[in-house]
Structure 1
Amino acid sequence: MKKPLRYNFRLKPTAEQEAKLIEFGSYARGLWNLLLSENLRRYRYDKTFLFYPEMSKLIKELKVFEEFSWLKSFDSAAAQQVARDLDTALKNSFSKSRLQKFPTFKVSFKQKKLHNDSFRCVNNSNCIRIENGAVSIPKIGKVPIVLHRKLVSEIKTVTVQLSHGKWNVSLTQEVECKTAKRVLHSIVGYDINSQHTVVGSNGWYAKNPKALKRSSTKLKQIQVQLSRREKGSSRWHKTKSRLNTLHGKISRQRLAFAHEVSCSIAKTSDIIVFEDLNVKGMQQFNGHMVNDNVMGMITSLTKYKVELNGGIYHEIGRFVKSTSICYQCKHPHKFGLIVREFACESCGLVQCRDLAAAKSIENTGENDLMATGIVARVTPKFQQKTSIKTKVFELSKFGVGTEKKEAA
């Protein structure tokens, strides 16, 4: 089975190429706003929307008019991708399962004071390829690229974006996943919290590096300097660029930490269990802590890495109680977030709050997987005569598994 993945690389465009990339980003933003305004006008007229077939036809018809001659300068495949993205955004806003807001207009980076325009091209007839340290982009040419790793397969799409003053390119490739493991030798549950980013039921944990907090002093200094500059002056723009660069550094530190943690988790065991956190709701309570802890990023990265290794990724229900439960006698407790260690009221065992939550998540995930018939508990032959036994499972879809069945 193949899985599409994105690999990010840094671009080093020339001055002419950079001007062309900015121009293409503004074309993509303008086309999005144009199609969205037409959808709103159509809805006010007859309560209907334009979807991808109608929007694709509209783009071709608009190229004839002189006012929309800029559509001819834009890559036609990239224009079609804008229509596809808007079509997906409209359908997701109607779907009850996605719960996304209705798409909004995109303002220019000068108004938002952010340089985050982007556009996506499709590799039709091998028009996008990497040769001699440069990637060829339709109607732009060969742009130098920092190729820090080899390509896995053929390029499907390429997304170019200006983020924090740096040009990045995202190449979509299809990666071959490993075959699903028939015998699963271990299961580990993970609890995500503010003190330690991740705590595993096997005793492994990763401390929160707090990239934003470490750079907070320098960040405040630059913000104070920016407030004293005359808005729009050359020194104001230089200070603004320094602030943007520092935010980019913090963002890259968080991403690097999330990749390191997710790789360690994916290689640890065959079955990974997390809890389904309401990250958006937690951001309203303490947004800086949640963002600095990369809670949602770790789970999303771990999910696809476990699937690549042939393991199983599972999330327990959002409203299932997992914290403040004794992992020995399963007795529930009630106490505040300030309590990090507690003694069980029933058995008297002193235990760490985070470790107990991780073990509770593991037990809940194991029961869910066995109840739904995804895995079955087995007893390997090499563990029958030993006192120390580890949990071993077998995928039910390869055969009817029972607890009495012996693993080969």
Structure 2
Amino acid sequence: MPKQILKAYKIRLYPNEEQQIFFAKSFGCTRFIWNRMLSDKIDHYNEHKTELKNTPAQYKKEFEWLKEVDSLALANVQQNLRAAYSTFFKSGFGFPKFKKKGQRDSYTTNNQKGTVAVTNNTVKLPKIGHINAKFPNKINGLIKSATISKTPSGKYYASLLVETVVEVLPKTGSNIGLDLGLTDFIVLSDGTKVANPKFLSKLQDRLTREQKILAKRTAVAKADQRKLSDSRNYQKQKIKVAKVYEKITNTRKDFLHKLSFNLIKNHDVIAVEDLNIKGMVKNKKLAKAISDSSWSTFTTMLNYKAEWYGKALIKVDRWYPSSKTCSGCGHLLTKAELPLQVRSWSCPSCQQKNDRDINASINILNEGLKLATLKTVGATGLA
């Protein structure tokens, strides 16, 4: 059964020199508008204790060079800033920050009657026309918007948000529980263990070497009283460091996409712990390993893919004692009886031998199925 969804396609762009200049102007103008509007909002609130309702149009009179770029890109900055303010006032944290040049350079434009379009080898954008591109997948559907970005390594990409149709995957009759870990990336309730690729660890030596060279180039430039932007050796080395980070990110995302789709394809219900990852990374000893594992990104992928393909992702409460409960009889151990270093244990009640992680994943599955049943009953209105 077909289902209509919004899907993002990431496309590599190969702009010519003139197009690169236009992108640089667009990045600069959107960054300027964000920073100027945010600054004026802060000043206005400090003086009047009310929110300033400013718009990009107000600034075009004073800064005419803002008219050189796509007006929709500036309008999207206003919407994003308004959304950031709304999120802050609702949650009480995450106040909007000022943007710096060279950090996440990007802008977003909308498709209005074909202003954003694709051909076999180009992407068409407002005010700039067709740009050479490489498409990893065929794009079918209505393009809603395009986000243009430049990576620290100097590559350009267009992320096209497309309204398209996907086929709901057939039911398999199989359900699975996942226990997220560091030694193994995930342990499944069927006993399968997926090893943690540890992408950062594998490239750590190379990254450290390139960063040391970058530090030396920085020191040389400062000793010669030269700006880092004027130091060609520094800029070349900066790109080398960025390429290492880029490789880590790309290989990690590829692994997470393939694994998450495989789980969604082969199972109808996937149960996973709702971990407090933000709190966990505060542990300095585990922060790097947890960040390298990207649990949050993985569960996000599972969530939207389950929604796309007609499957169910159930999140079990983080306080549920999945590791300390025997999956055979339900006997609950205390924290003292099962310290973290103990990886297997025998239940004192039923004598079942439990692998700590497999046992946890089985309990997560059982609890997830209970929650799924309650959710279904609630949705149908049954008592």
Counterpart-to-counterpart distance in 2, 1:190 and 1:89: 33
State the match for 1:75 in structure 2. Answer: 70
Counterpart-to-counterpart distance in 2, 1:301 and 1:103: 26
State the match for 1:245 in structure 2. Answer: 243
State the match for 1:278 in structure 2. Answer: 276
Counterpart-to-counterpart distance in 2, 1:234 and 1:136: 33
Letter matched to residue 61 of structure 1: Q
- Count of aligned positions: 365
Check the 8 A contact 1:184/1:271 in 2, yes or no: no
SS across alignment from 1:209: coil
Q: Deviations over 1:20-65 (max 9, x none)?
A: 2122111111110111112112212322213xxx43xx32233223
SS across alignment from 1:327: coil
Aligned pairs for 1:38-49 within 5 A = 38-49=40-51
Quote how far apart the aligned CAs of 1:354 are. 0.9
Letter matched to residue 298 of structure 2: I
| 1:104 has 2:97 as partner | yes
State the match for 1:150 in structure 2. Answer: 138
Quote how far apart the aligned CAs of 1:296 are. 0.6
Quote how far apart the aligned CAs of 1:132 are. 4.1
Quote how far apart the aligned CAs of 1:177 are. 5.0
Letter matched to residue 203 of structure 2: S
Aligned pairs for 1:344-363 within 5 A = 344-363=347-366
State the match for 2:10 in structure 1. Answer: 8
State the match for 1:288 in structure 2. Answer: 288
Instruction: Give the 3 Å change call, closer, same or farther, for CA 345–152 of structure 1 in structure 2.
Output: farther
Check the 8 A contact 1:156/1:171 in 2, yes or no: yes
State the match for 1:389 in structure 2. Answer: none
| Residue from 31, 34, 37 that aligns with 1:35 | 37
Quote how far apart the aligned CAs of 1:187 are. 2.1
State the match for 1:380 in structure 2. Answer: none
Aligned pairs for 1:139-218 within 5 A = 139-165=127-153, 166-176=155-165, 178=167, 185-218=173-206
State the match for 1:259 in structure 2. Answer: 257
SS across alignment from 1:345: coil
Q: Deviations over 1:188-220 (max 9, x none)?
A: 111111111111112233211111111111112
Check the 8 A contact 1:177/1:307 in 2, yes or no: no
Instruction: Give the 3 Å change call, closer, same or farther, for CA 8–374 of structure 1 in structure 2.
Output: farther
Instruction: Give the 3 Å change call, closer, same or farther, for CA 374–25 of structure 1 in structure 2.
Output: farther
Instruction: Give the 3 Å change call, closer, same or farther, for CA 31–188 of structure 1 in structure 2.
Output: same
SS across alignment from 1:284: coil
SS across alignment from 1:95: helix
| Residue from 353, 373, 376 that aligns with 1:370 | 373
Counterpart-to-counterpart distance in 2, 1:177 and 1:151: 12
Quote how far apart the aligned CAs of 1:17 are. 1.3
Check the 8 A contact 1:206/1:261 in 2, yes or no: no
Check the 8 A contact 1:177/1:310 in 2, yes or no: no
Counterpart-to-counterpart distance in 2, 1:121 and 1:366: 43
State the match for 1:94 in structure 2. Answer: 89
Tell which deviates more after alignment, 321-330 or 290-299. 321-330
Counterpart-to-counterpart distance in 1, 2:95 and 2:216: 39
Quote how far apart the aligned CAs of 1:13 are. 1.2
Q: TM-score normalised to the size of structure 2?
A: 0.89
State the match for 1:378 in structure 2. Answer: none
Counterpart-to-counterpart distance in 1, 2:318 and 2:82: 30
Q: Deviations over 1:342-391 (max 9, x none)?
A: 2222222222111111111111111122233358xxxxxxxxxxxxxxxx
Letter matched to residue 144 of structure 1: N
Letter matched to residue 33 of structure 2: L
Aligned pairs for 1:281-360 within 5 A = 281-285=279-283, 286-333=286-333, 334=335, 335-360=338-363
Quote how far apart the aligned CAs of 1:100 are. 4.1
Which ranges of structure 1 fall in alignment gaps of 5 or more residues?
Answer: 376-395, 403-408
